Chain A
Amino acid sequence: MGTRGPGIVTLAILRAIQSGRRYGADIMEATALGGGTVYKTLGRLERRGWVEGAWEDPAVAEAGKRPRRRFYDLTPEGEAAAAEALRRVVELTGQPSTA
């Protein structure tokens, strides 16, 4: 990732979260990326402050007798970075990303 703009995988994940796919499994499904790749990227994005993870209300999980889940949201910086990255993709390709 570095100081270059986000790569295509990152962009795909940012877009997935933006479009409301907030759980790991959902993001994998939306991006067709493997779990390892998705979580590594989420880890990096969290550390970079673009994405914020949080646990769902335990009561909800308890009610469903299932393990709790963790969801991710874009921070304002993440929103701005996603918008900027998308602008560059459009600039380069002439059309908006389809992800």
Chain B
Amino acid sequence: MPAPVWPRDRLVGLARRVLRAAATLVPFRRRSDWRDEWEGELWALHGRGASAQHLMRFALGGLAHALWERRQEEGMMLGSLAGDTRLALRRLARTPTVTFVTVSVLGLGVGANTALFSALEAALLGAPPYPDADRIVLVDMLLQSRADAPADTMPWSFPKFEMARDQLGSLDVLAGFAPGTVTLTGAGPASRLAAEYVTPTYLEVLGARPGLGRLLSRDEMAPSVAAVALLSHDLWVSRFGADPGVIGRGVSLNGASIEIVGVLDPGFRPLTGPVDLWLPVSALPLVQGPQRLQRPWTHWLRAVGRLRPGVTLEQARADAVPVGRALTRAFPDPDGGGAHGVTMVPFLQARVNPVARAAVTAVSAGALLFLLIACGNVASLLTARASRRRSDVAVRAALGASRRRLVREHLIESSVLAGAGGVLGLVIALGGQRMVSAAVGYALDTSGTRSLQFIDPERMGLDGGMLLLGMGIALATGLVFGMLPAWSAARVSPGADLRASGGATLGSRGTASGDTGTALLVAFQLALTLVLLAGAGLMGASFARLAGVPVGFANTRVLTVAFDRGPGSSPEQDRAFMAALLERLASLPGVARAAGGTCPPLAGRCEILGLRQVDEQPPKDYSEMSGVLGYTVTEGYFETIGVPTLEGRTFGPVDGRGDAPVVVINETAARTLFPGVSPLGHRLSVTHALTEDRMATVVGVVGDVRYAQLEEAAMPAVYLAERQAALPSGTLFVHATGDPLALLEAVRAEAAALDPDVPLYGASTLAERVAAATARTRIILGLLLAFAASGLLLGALGLYGLVSHAVVRRTREVGLRVALGADRGSVVRMMVGRPAVFALVGAACGSAAAAWLTRYLEGLLFGTTASDPLILAGSAGTLVLVALLAALAPARRAARIEPAAALRVD
């Protein structure tokens, strides 16, 4: 169609210019028609002699209409969200590898973090399940054994607790609590229950509520009141069938009749770990005998208090100083020892032991580093993809797609990616929940320490806030890095980009600035990876050393199960029971040997005896040798678990009740008590009620067995003969020829046949105990190693992608260089040079960060230190090596480029 001939009128020209400018606002597909229509009407108006004012008003009307058209289009775009999402999905499906890697990497990062941070929140950060937790303090006793020795933090004896309770005026309440076990008989088979002996105010401080019945009343402190107990919700359901009629019913605990007065709310978390029932301390004389409440030097009760409103911790601590002095005056040390004191630690600070805190923090920090690496990786993937799409985007921009439109498309695509990553993360977090619970359970396992255990890993759920945070981080990464390239791509002038896509020529940097961004991201990933590698290296070294610690016993196919005959039986009855039981067990098929002992190895120090006398003198250094591990074991104990006899003999038939008292000691005791001489024939005595502290002759020396944690050095141990003492409670050891746990039912049957009221509980095997002893280190190592390996893989992939991209982009340049005489080596150096610099920068930054961050692992290490230069250097070396290998592969491809072929590239 020939162009219309427009009149040479200034006003018409101006109006046309306004309309043309307005037309740019109109969506592209309607723009040409729109302009034609408005110009047609302009012509008509002018033709019929419209006034200047009329013409300008018309033109401005056009502008208003163009704006309206644009808004309509945008509104429609919102409506087409579903369509755009479908488009985004189709586009993502076109690059399945990038999509798959992005989604999995984000998912893993989010999943691991959500699960671990939920644990961290539960263990360390979150509000504890108690009212006014910031005013709750743990109040322990300090006791100096000598004037020049540091004071030991220890539990209270009941008389001292009562005095402190009455005198500590800065506390609203001071409540006592102590874990214990009781045997429930009567309703069904005898069972061993976890109990907490508490003063009634304990439940008040922790804000316990009765689900049924009532709590303890304050007058139930008095021993004369009828003995009562509260049940946990779980016990009420499992043992009493959730019968509301249980209130007021009597049960038999350790043979004493106790009345159930209440069931606690299921949400209540006791301080000492899972508890089946609560007894007032006044019930102790009934279920455990009278001594515990009376003896001022039997320290067993822990205390928790609440600061009075307005009283600061410092004031309370100052107020406690005179209380310590009063305690010293009221309870002079029979051994001539030292002063008492009172220590108060805020509950929020004391709630988790430092090792557990370090463990959970380390693993969570590892997860966070991994998430950052994952985000960096996703960012570089998306940036790389965006740069590949630049020409695509440029063509569309040239065809009239608005920047807003392009950005919107990328926005939706990024959201779909990030959303999918987040959803996968949720799935992983839910799936990993069990594993994390177990890991945290191990991390928080404080058996043998005096820490609180109010967190129940079994009940630890995913934290909603953490999940949102994880999803938020994933979305933010996806969005920011999905969007930035789109934004810059849409900014770029289409012509320049279309030209640039033809391939860079010699000396041209092309899109190298985009590569610098990606290279920085890769360096960032490598730096973080190095921190993880160093952490994993340290834990690996610790694990190797820990696993190399000799446990001291050779047989691991041994069933260990605890038993408790309660307080009612005499030593003679206990000895008869043990002899009969061991005889029955030894005759069971599949049993190689059976024995009894105080407690199993690797379970914490269970009994410490005072060493009274060695030969004719008291021990040389009282402070160091005031305690030895004391174990009462039956004949055949050492043979059952496989402890070597180093000197002399172990217990035999000649070591009966009426025979001369004998002991067997371990290697460490032999070395410390009898340096340079054979201990055989020497005599010593330990404080032990059943042997009346008699002097006993050392008849044998056995190897050291690790009874406490593997990390602790072996302690001197003295073994007493069971037939010269007695084992009213302890552990049975059954060396099996097959699967030890398969023997459990038979062992139970034999015990029940002798005495149906003896509960057997806590069955395990020595193999399991060995595994559990290194479990914490192993789990932390496993997690850090997994994070580090994934981080290394992602960093290597990032570097590989970076170099590959550069090789493709610089194909023509390489061709030219080779044609001009460059050798293959220089091509490889050219391609690897820049990435290598970035890798080294990453490694350097990572080394600095690792040196600083790994010191937080210190408490978890064994046999190595956080600043171990060998491990740091090894980690850095591994990182650089992997990085170079990742960069070399594509660079060698570049070196094989044929100049003729390269120069033909578009």
Contact = CB atoms under 8 A, between A and B. Distances in A.
A and B pair up = yes
Interface of A: 23-26, 28, 34-40, 43, 58, 61-62, 65-70
B74 interface: no
A40 to B, nearest CB: 5
B37 interface: yes
Given A35-B57, A36-B61, A37-B61, A66 B68 contact: no
Nearest to A25: B41
B40 A70 contact: yes
Contact of B40 (A35, A38, A66): A66
Interface residues of B, number: 26
Interface stretch (B1-9, B351-359, B404-412, B750-758): B1-9
B265 interface: no
The listed residue with most B CB atoms (<10 A of its CB), out of A25, A34, A40, A43, is A25
Contact of A58 (B1, B58, B63, B68): B1
B276 to A, nearest CB: 68
A68 B3 CA distance: 10
B61 A65 contact: no
A4 B210 CA distance: 62
Contacts of A35: 38, 41, 57-58, 60-62, 64-65
26 contacts: A23-B40, A24-B38, A25-B41, A25-B58, A26-B44, A34-B57, A34-B61, A35-B58, A35-B61, A37-B61, A37-B64, A39-B62, A39-B65, A40-B64, A40-B68, A43-B65, A43-B68, A43-B72, A58-B1, A65-B2, A66-B5, A66-B40, A66-B43, A66-B47, A67-B36, A70-B40
B202 to A, nearest CB: 68
Contacts of B47: 66
Contacts of A58: 1
A61 to B, nearest CB: 7
B69 interface: yes
B39 interface: yes
B221 interface: no
Interface string B59-79: 011111100110010000000
A83 B60 CA distance: 32
A61 B61 contact: no
B45 interface: yes
The listed residue with most B CB atoms (<10 A of its CB), out of A37, A38, A70, is A70
B2 to A, nearest CB: 6
A1 B41 CA distance: 26
Contacts of B60: 34-36
B65 A40 contact: yes
Nearest to B33: A70
A62 B2 contact: yes
Nearest 6 pairs between A and B by C-beta? A35-B61, A36-B64, A69-B40, A36-B61, A25-B41, A67-B40
B663 to A, nearest CB: 99
Contacts of B41: 23-25, 35, 69
B51 to A, nearest CB: 12
Contacts of B57: 34-35
Nearest to A44: B72
A39 B66 CA distance: 10
B831 to A, nearest CB: 57
Contacts of A62: 1-2
Contacts of A28: 58, 61
A46 to B, nearest CB: 12
A39 B40 contact: no
A72 B330 CA distance: 109
Contacts of A38: 61
A35 to B, nearest CB: 3
B37 A69 contact: yes
Interface string B13-33: 000000000000000000001
Nearest to B22: A36
Contacts of A25: 41, 44-45, 58
A28 B45 CA distance: 10
Contacts of B4: 61, 65-67
B529 to A, nearest CB: 57
Contact of A36 (B43, B45, B62): B62
Nearest to B30: A43
A16 B780 CA distance: 82
Contacts of A40: 64-65, 68
B61 A70 contact: no
Nearest to A37: B61
A68 B834 CA distance: 61
Given A40-B64, A69-B43, 15 more contacts: A28-B58, A35-B58, A35-B62, A35-B65, A37-B61, A38-B61, A40-B68, A43-B68, A43-B72, A66-B4, A66-B43, A68-B1, A69-B40, A69-B41, A70-B33
Nearest to A34: B61
Contacts of B37: 24, 69-70
A69 B48 CA distance: 15
Interface in B746-805: none
Contacts of A37: 61, 64
B43 A67 contact: yes
A43 B62 CA distance: 13
A58 B44 CA distance: 15
Contacts of B38: 24, 35
Contacts of A66: 4-5, 40, 43, 47
A7 B39 CA distance: 28
A75 to B, nearest CB: 19
Contacts of A67: 4, 36, 39-40, 43
A41 B314 CA distance: 77
Contacts of A65: 2, 4-5
Contacts of A43: 65, 68-69, 72
A36 B68 contact: yes
Nearest to A53: B37
B32 to A, nearest CB: 12
B829 to A, nearest CB: 64
Given A65-B5, A67-B36, A69-B37, A39 B61 contact: yes
Interface in B700-718: none
The listed residue with most B CB atoms (<10 A of its CB), out of A39, A40, A58, A65, is A39
A66 to B, nearest CB: 5
B63 to A, nearest CB: 8
A25 B1 CA distance: 23
A66 B64 CA distance: 24
A55 to B, nearest CB: 8
Given A34-B57, A35-B57, A61-B4, A68 B65 contact: no
Nearest to B63: A36
Contacts of B40: 23, 61, 66-70
